[in-house]
């Protein structure tokens, strides 16, 4: 296909680790790197899903592929994963911190437990990944790349997504700070900011304390304005590979994410 031609063997010999790889954007990203000849570690808290992604990645063209069951918000589990990957597969060349959960609801409908849950996965998961695998990359001294999946919500205030948007704004800033810190070591850092992408996360969105009808109308307006709907995760994966090859800092992906980024 087109992508295989575009990126054929561009990642040959490289080790790529993707979190949240059992589904959606993470799975598509694991497949895209597999097509480009990488060795792929598919990580997810859903171990069976991660194993399935790894198996398919092997069929698609990955030089080698492994599935690992890990909860990215669990610091001890992430330490174990980082030690295992380094010992058994090698130093990661490209790290994609993509695992994330959705949470919608007005500020006052969002409980402290909700805040903790979404920050634990969406922010702390990225922090653990960057600290552990970033340190290995820097220690090796041969460069590398880190991609963090933020969101257009990071720069688009919304009364429907205060906790989620805050977690993603933090991921965006963390990525830019780390990019500055690692620039001298040949390690690039990219924040990828998709708008609405057709995955499980959007199908299971919860609208506590928000007028669900109003939220639907808002999404409809946005989809008419930007002609979105059914934006496939494969196109986000393409944007991620391109961002690594061209070393971009912030990459808004869908049409409405690009529009909102220009206005932010
Ligand atoms: P998804 O729900 O299809 O995939 C997320 C994956 O992450 C799942 O396989 C899930 O099991 C895994 N996961 C969740 N919590 C985890 C944890 N604690 N440890 C390990 N794995 C965990 O969702 P999607 O859309 O593919 O999301 C991927 C990333 O893209 C997320 O960070 C999300 O916030 C972000 N994003 C998604 C957008 C969309 O419209 N779908 C828009 C902007 C950003």
**Best of 97, 104, 152, 201 for a ligand 1 pocket test (most atoms within 8 Å of beta carbon):** 201
Q: Report CA(23)–ligand 1 centroid distance (Å).
A: 7
Which domain CATH number covers 69? 3.40.50.720
Q: Report CA(24)–ligand 1 centroid distance (Å).
A: 7
ipTM confidence score: 0.99
DSSP state of 124: I
Q: Report CA(25)–ligand 1 centroid distance (Å).
A: 7
Strand partners, 193: 252
Task: Specify the pLDDT at position 4.
Answer: 53
> What CA–CA distance (Å, rounded) separates 254 from 245?
19
pLDDT digit string, tens, across residues 3-24: 556 788 899 999 999 999 999 9
Nearest 5°: phi and psi at 224? -70, -40
Structural domain including 197 reads: 2-263
Domain count, the chain: 1
Nearest 5°: phi and psi at 100? -165, 160
Task: Specify the pLDDT at position 7.
Answer: 86
164 carries an active-site annotation: yes
Read off the tokens for 28.
Answer: 């598509």
Q: Report CA(6)–ligand 1 centroid distance (Å).
A: 26
| 226 neighbors 255 (Cβ within 8 angstroms) | yes
pLDDT digit string, tens, across residues 66-96: 999 999 999 999 999 999 999 999 999 999 9
Ligand 1: residues with CB < 6 A are: 19-20, 22-26, 44-46, 49, 71-73, 98-101, 121, 125, 149, 151, 194, 196-197, 199-202, 233
pLDDT tens digit at each of 264 positions of the chain: 455 567 888 999 999 999 999 999 999 999 999 999 999 999 999 999 999 999 999 999 999 999 999 999 999 999 999 999 999 999 999 999 999 999 999 999 999 999 999 999 999 999 999 999 999 999 999 999 999 999 999 999 999 999 999 999 999 999 999 999 999 999 999 999 999 998 888 765 555 566 667 767 766 666 665 555 679 999 999 999 999 999 999 999 998 899 999 998
Which residues, 6 or more positions from 118, have their beta carbon under 8 angstroms from its beta carbon? 101, 103, 163, 164, 167
Residues in the chain: 264
Task: Residue 43: name the closest of 28, 56, 31, 53 by CA.
Answer: 53
Question: Hey, how many other C-beta atoms are within 10 angstroms of the C-beta on 228?
Answer: 18
**Best of 22, 78, 95, 99 for a ligand 1 pocket test (most atoms within 8 Å of beta carbon):** 99
Task: Specify the pLDDT at position 1.
Answer: 46
Q: Which atom of ligand 1 is nearest to the CA of 72?
A: 19
Q: Which atom of ligand 1 is nearest to the CA of 25?
A: 26
């Amino acid at each position: 296909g087109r992508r295989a031609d575009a990126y054929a063997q561009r990642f040959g010999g490289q080790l790529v680790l993707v979190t949240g790889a059992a589904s959606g954007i993470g799975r598509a990203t694991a497949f895209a790197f597999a097509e480009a000849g990488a060795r792929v570690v598919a990580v997810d808290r859903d171990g069976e899903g991660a194993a399935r992604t790894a198996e398919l990645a092997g069929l698609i063209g990955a030089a080698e592929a492994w599935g690992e069951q890990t909860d990215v918000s669990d610091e001890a589990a992430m330490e174990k994963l980082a030690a295992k990957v380094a010992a058994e597969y090698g130093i990661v060349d490209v790290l994609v911190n993509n695992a994330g959960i959705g949470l919608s609801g007005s500020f006052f409908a969002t409980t402290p437990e909700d805040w903790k849950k979404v920050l634990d996965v969406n922010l702390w998961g990225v922090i653990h990944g960057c600290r552990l695998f970033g340190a290995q990359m820097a220690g090796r001294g041969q460069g590398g790349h880190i991609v963090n999946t933020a969101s257009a919500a990071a720069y688009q205030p919304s009364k429907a997504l205060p906790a989620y948007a805050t977690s993603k704004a933090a991921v965006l800033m963390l990525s830019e700070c780390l990019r500055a810190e690692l620039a001298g070591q040949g390690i690039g850092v990219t924040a990828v900011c998709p708008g609405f992408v057709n995955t499980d996360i959007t199908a299971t969105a919860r609208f506590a304390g928000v007028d669900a009808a109003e939220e639907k109308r808002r999404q409809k307006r946005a989809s008419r304005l930007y002609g979105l709907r059914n934006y496939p995760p494969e196109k986000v994966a393409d944007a991620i590979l391109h961002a690594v090859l061209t070393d971009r800092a912030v990459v808004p992906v869908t049409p409405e994410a690009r529009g909102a980024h220009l206005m932010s």
